[in-house]
Amino acid sequence: MRKINFRWAWPAMFAIGFVAATSASAQTTAAPSAEKLQRYQIDPAKVFVAGISSGGFTAVQMHVAHSATFKGAAIYAGGVYWCAGAGGAAAALANCGGQTLPTNEASYNSMLAQSIAYLDTQSALGTIDSSVNLSGQPVYLWSGTRDATVNPRQMADLNAEYLHYGAKVVFDNGFPAAHGWESPNGELDCGTPGSPFMVKCFVNGAPYDSVQTWLKHFLGRLSPRNNGKLQGTLSTFDQTEFGAAPNVSLNSTGTVFVPKACEQGKTCGMVLALHGCKQYSALIGNRWVNQAGINEWADTNNLVVVYPDTIASSAPEPTNPNGCYDWWGYSNQVDPNYALKSGAQMSVLYRMVQRVTGRQ
């Protein structure tokens, strides 16, 4: 494990909860320009998952459940596998994150021991891939010291969990960052909380690039970032053919970035990139896709990047007013298998991965 610690003073922050009721039920309307997600020549050793907040928790679930497919994970402000347990939204808020206390820190109760026990059981049952696959895999973790939505101790637990299974962890936990995804493209200062949760931090006066850090950890030597016009293409793809629908709180369309070389048949890698609560496209447009800072590296290092998209919804559809990914079991109202390969939303997301990698 390598720890990176940089400390500066930044403004105080306050972050939103995951499931505060803020929007009405959304409708999925297929965009007329949506295309069919294509297959590409993907190196099976270069298939990764990344996510922030609810997308971070879900990225952990995807990584653990499909550790034979995903060969690394980048987790921003997420938490341990099956963090919500069987307790639903109330347990998720109390134990894992999303609920800011009067002390301006996120509610937290360690679920590490329960998580490891559940992971071991499901691995033995075969409802997830063998935990043995996690040994030696590269993992990147980001936790801002001023994150009042996901307690830094939650990310410390995730660090301990990955180390328990032998993963090679880089843990960025020294920046005074608010809850969000860090990128040189982020529109908010490092310690500034709130929408769109895209922050930019600095080291010695220069923008930090967390994506560069984890891609180097995953791939080794990188070609330089494309800071100009991207040569690859961004397009909208149809999510409904994979099962996206209001009952799993997934939009009818998502976004995919394809480098020119990958389009032309070169063997490439892949990143499944999952946004956080209140970062779905109907709310913040294309800011997640454009500010994440992944495309600029993907363009020059031949990585197809798939950005699925959620919708906000309320009863009688799943109660998900902030458009979060499902890490506590809201899919199909109550999904006890939400963290397993058979999970309702997990299955939809994995079918997208299977398509891009040529397995479907």
Catalytic residue among 63, 107, 129, 147: 147
According to the model, what pLDDT value does residue 12 have?
26
Tell me, yes or no, whether 21 lies in a domain.
Answer: no
Catalytic residue among 23, 53, 210, 313: 53
Tell me, yes or no, whether 333 lies in a domain.
Answer: yes
Catalytic residue among 179, 252, 326, 331: 179
According to the model, what pLDDT value does residue 102 have?
86
* Mean pLDDT of the chain, nearest integer: 90
pLDDT tens readout for residues 242-289: 999 999 999 999 999 999 999 999 999 999 999 999 999 999 999 999
Tell me, yes or no, whether 144 lies in a domain.
Answer: yes
Instruction: State the total domains in the chain.
Output: 1
54 classed as catalytic: no
Tell me, yes or no, whether 25 lies in a domain.
Answer: no
Residue 7: how many CB atoms within 10 A of its CB?
A: 9
Tell me, yes or no, whether 251 lies in a domain.
Answer: yes
pLDDT tens readout for residues 32-63: 578 999 999 999 999 999 999 999 999 999 99
Task: State which residues form the domain around 163.
Answer: 2-8+30-356
Tell me, yes or no, whether 24 lies in a domain.
Answer: no
Helix (H, G, I), strand (E, B) or coil at 332: coil
- The rounded distance, in Å, linking the Cα atoms of 78 and 158 is 8
Confidence of residue 13 (pLDDT cuts 50, 70, 90): very low
pTM score over 0.85: yes
Q: What is the torsional sign of CA 130, 135, 139, 143?
A: positive
Tell me, yes or no, whether 265 lies in a domain.
Answer: yes
179 classed as catalytic: yes
pLDDT tens readout for residues 310-338: 999 987 889 899 999 999 999 866 799 99
- The rounded distance, in Å, linking the Cα atoms of 194 and 132 is 38
According to the model, what pLDDT value does residue 74 have?
99
53 classed as catalytic: yes
According to the model, what pLDDT value does residue 20 have?
33
Cα Rg of the chain (Å, integer): 18
According to the model, what pLDDT value does residue 332 have?
67
Tell me, yes or no, whether 13 lies in a domain.
Answer: no
